[in-house]
Amino acid sequence: MLASLGAELLKLRKRPSTWVLGSIWLAVTILLNYTLAYALVSSVPPPTVPEGTPKAQKEQIRAQQEELREQQLEFLYPEYLVSYLTPGFPNLGAPIALILGALAMGSEYGWATFKTILTQRPGRYALFFGKLLALGILLALLVVVTFAAGAVSGYVIASLEGTPVGLPAAGELVRALGAGGLILAIWAALGVLLATLLRSTALSIGLGLVYSFVLETIIFNLPIQSKGFQDAREFFPGQNSNFLADSFSEQSQGGFVPPEPTVDAPQAALVLLAYTAVFILLAAFVFHRRDVT
């Protein structure tokens, strides 16, 4: 499997789509979360105070505005890195992970390269798990680089504002890295499974995105009140990705109310872990059994 891992890492490293997707993920994360957010907060015009407002009241309004601005800026500082970035993982990270997973497996079918590789003797399981391990390393790097880029952006903003720089607690950061990795892993695993079942890249990406963006939303909005249905909703991958990611928001900001039904972070992580394992094992089984035509 280690020999396969080396080959798979080389493929990922040299593949343009890896860099394109990674760059999109990073660029959008930093642009939306930091650059745009900072520009918006910084450019809020001073409130219009009616003529004749007493000076003391004017001062009070200005102080309130400044306080609000400070509160908004606070989330951009490295200290709030975890609570600020982690909730974004299911929104943009999940589709990108799904595409990466589908590409890793589906392209091999598209280019018919499985026959070339398998006749070189790696063995199907070694090839499959080498591929997944390489994908896992890529996703882990993406998570780390995302938080690192967020920390650097936050540091720059804090410096511009002349605010002392704090850092999130190490334990919290590790938990966020794990949660981010798990959220990306389950969607990448879904991409791998779909590509294996469908032996195609485009269809598997299309179906995966339709599921993540449309199907779960439709299911959640069905006007069914039965307890069984309500309970079942707690076991959908998209919802659990959100529950896990939002658990970091809640912790840092206090007062944040996640959507009902609530599932605590450990349960959400367990559900995601179970889905990831099932997706991977099913894909491995199918890949091992099927003819390579």
Partner 1 sequence: MTESEQRHPPLVETSGLGKRYGSISAVRDLNISVRRGEVYGFLGPNGAGKTTTLRMLLGLIKPSSGTAKVLGEEPGSPLSLQGVGALVESPAFYPYLSGRDNLRLMADYCGAPHQRVDEVLEQVELAGRARDKFKKYSLGMKQRLGVAAALLKDPELLILDEPTNGLDPKGMADMRALIRRVGHGERTVLLSSHLLGEVEQVCDRVGVIHKGELLTEGTVDELRGGGGILVKVEPVEEARKIAAGLAWVGGAKIEDGMLVLEVDPEKAAEINARLVSEGLRVSELRPVEISLEDAFLEFTRGETV
Least spacing, CB of residue 25 vs partner 1, in Å: 20
User: With contact defined as beta carbons under 8 Å apart, do 75 and 83 qualify?
Assistant: yes
Q: Which residue has the tokens 């540091």?
A: 155
Calculate helix-pair angle for 124-161, 94-111, nearest 10 degrees. 150
Asked if 119 touches partner 1 (CB under 8 A), the answer is yes
Please report, in angstroms and rounded to a whole number, the separation of the first and last CA atoms in the chain.
23
Q: Which is nearer to partner 1, 30 or 117 (CB)?
A: 117
Where do the H-state alpha helices sit in 213-264? 216-220, 227-232, 237-253
Q: In this structure, how many other beta carbons lie within 10 angstroms of the beta carbon of residue 56? A: 7
Cα dihedral: 136, 207, 21, 140 (round 10)? -20
Query: Judged by CB under 8 A, which of 1, 7, 156, 270 binds partner 1?
Result: 7
Asked if 11 touches partner 1 (CB under 8 A), the answer is yes
Q: Which is nearer to partner 1, 196 or 240 (CB)?
A: 196
Asked if 292 touches partner 1 (CB under 8 A), the answer is yes
User: With contact defined as beta carbons under 8 Å apart, do 90 and 245 qualify?
Assistant: yes
Least spacing, CB of residue 94 vs partner 1, in Å: 25
Q: Which is nearer to partner 1, 111 or 213 (CB)?
A: 111
At 120, the amino acid letter reads Q
Least spacing, CB of residue 199 vs partner 1, in Å: 14
Asked if 118 touches partner 1 (CB under 8 A), the answer is yes
Asked if 69 touches partner 1 (CB under 8 A), the answer is no
Asked if 4 touches partner 1 (CB under 8 A), the answer is yes
At 82, the amino acid letter reads V
Asked if 10 touches partner 1 (CB under 8 A), the answer is yes
- Contact residues for partner 1 (CB under 8 A)? 3-4, 6-7, 10-11, 14-16, 111-113, 115-123, 127, 291-293
